[in-house]
Amino acid sequence: MLKEHPKYHKNIKDAAESQQSIILNYHIHPGESKYCVSILSKSVKHLDMEDEKSTSEELAHIKGISDLEELFVPLMSYFGEKLKSIYHLTRLPDLYINGMQYFQDNTNNVGD
């Protein structure tokens, strides 16, 4: 599906090729009943030894992927593995739910 969308595919491919970190943000919009996923890139700019500034950019937004919060971990884990394989990512995407970090590189659960 992403490869068929010219803008989304190019955005993700470019971010992967420049080795930016990828984030999957599973979220629901106010007044809606279905969850979406935003695919974002994160770049860290080193300003000096003590200060870093990170910026994120939305690469793709997929609406209505689920109506259950409980499917967050299995859906995003599977989707992250697929993205890593298809786009040759160096690491798994970080997982967020409603804008809050849950997994970093899918190995450290920061939500517990």
DSSP-derived 3-state class of residue 9: helix
Output the average pLDDT for the chain.
86
How confident is the model over 88-104, as a mean pLDDT? 90
Q: What pLDDT score does 98 carry?
A: 94
Q: What pLDDT score does 25 carry?
A: 96
Q: What share of the chain is helix, strand, coil (3-state, %, to 5)?
A: 30, 40, 30
How confident is the model over 47-62, as a mean pLDDT? 74
Which positions ≥6 away from 86 have C-beta within 8 Å?
A: 2, 3
Q: What pLDDT score does 110 carry?
A: 47
Q: Where are the beta strands (DSSP E) in the chain?
A: 21-28, 35-46, 52-66, 94-97, 100-104, 108-109
Q: What pLDDT score does 103 carry?
A: 72
Percent of the chain at pLDDT exceeding 70 = 81
- Please indicate whether residue 59 or residue 104 has the higher confidence score (pLDDT): 59
How confident is the model over 31-51, as a mean pLDDT? 78
* Strand order across the beta sheet in which 21-28 lies: 52-66, 35-46, 21-28, 94-97, 100-104, 108-109
Which of the four pLDDT bands, split at 50, 70 and 90, describes residue 112? very low
Amino acid, res. 19: Q
pTM of the shown model = 0.82
